[in-house]
């Protein structure tokens, strides 16, 4: 059965370019309820840990450097079929391939600096949400 929560980050590029408000508006009008949210900055150690699954990829170093380069907004979102519906809302990883109107098509600049993260499975949504939030920060 599809789960009802996913995890997202508004990445440093989108924060720097002033898109927090517009992205949150897309999230709200997409029918997602924000159950946890914080404005924070990842250390390079924390970014490396979050993306450890990509450690062997050639872009890992660049990814960790970018994700720790400035503040992010981290959030847990709730909706029926949350993981899949949020991935539809954000569009393909590479913004050049993202469908028109999706968050990445509108706000991302490149495959590396792609504005937002969205969990790829219910299991990862739960792991990633717990990575950023204590139980007392989820409502």
Q: Answer for the pair 27, 34: CB distance below 8 angstroms, yes or no.
A: yes
User: How many CA within 13 A on the CB side of residue 19?
Assistant: 22
CB of 89 to ligand CMP, least distance (A): 13
Closer to ligand CMP by Cβ: residue 88 or 139: 88
| Closest to 116 (Cα-Cα) out of 80, 61, 59, 77 | 77
Binding of ligand CMP at residue 124 (CB under 6 A)? no
Site for ligand CMP (CB under 6 A): how many residues? 9
Binding mask 69-98 for ligand CMP (x = CB under 6 A): ------------------------x-----
CB of 28 to ligand CMP, least distance (A): 21
Query: Contacting ligand CMP (CB under 6 A), which of 19, 104, 117, 132?
Result: 117
- Phi/psi region, residue 91 (left: phi>0; alpha: psi -120 to 50; beta: rest), is left
Pairing of strands 72-78, 5-10: antiparallel
Cα(139)–Cα(123) distance, integer angstroms: 20
Binding residues (CB under 6 A) for ligand CMP: these are 54, 59, 62-63, 93, 111-112, 114, 117
Q: What positions carry a catalytic annotation?
A: 117
């Amino acid at each position: 059965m599809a789960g009802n929560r996913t995890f997202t980050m508004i990445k440093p590029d989108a924060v720097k370019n002033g898109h927090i408000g517009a992205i949150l508006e897309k999230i709200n009008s997409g029918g997602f309820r924000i159950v946890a949210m914080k404005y924070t900055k990842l250390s390079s150690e924390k970014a490396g840990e979050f993306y450890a699954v990509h450690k062997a990829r050639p872009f890992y170093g660049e990814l960790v450097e970018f994700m720790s380069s400035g503040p992010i907004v981290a959030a847990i979102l709730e909706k029926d079929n949350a993981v899949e519906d949020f991935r539809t809302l954000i569009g393909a990883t590479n913004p050049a391939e993202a469908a028109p109107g999706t968050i990445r098509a509108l706000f991302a600049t490149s495959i590396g600096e792609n504005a937002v993260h969205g969990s790829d499975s219910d299991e990862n949504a739960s792991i990633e949400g717990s990575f950023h939030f204590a139980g007392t920060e989820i409502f």
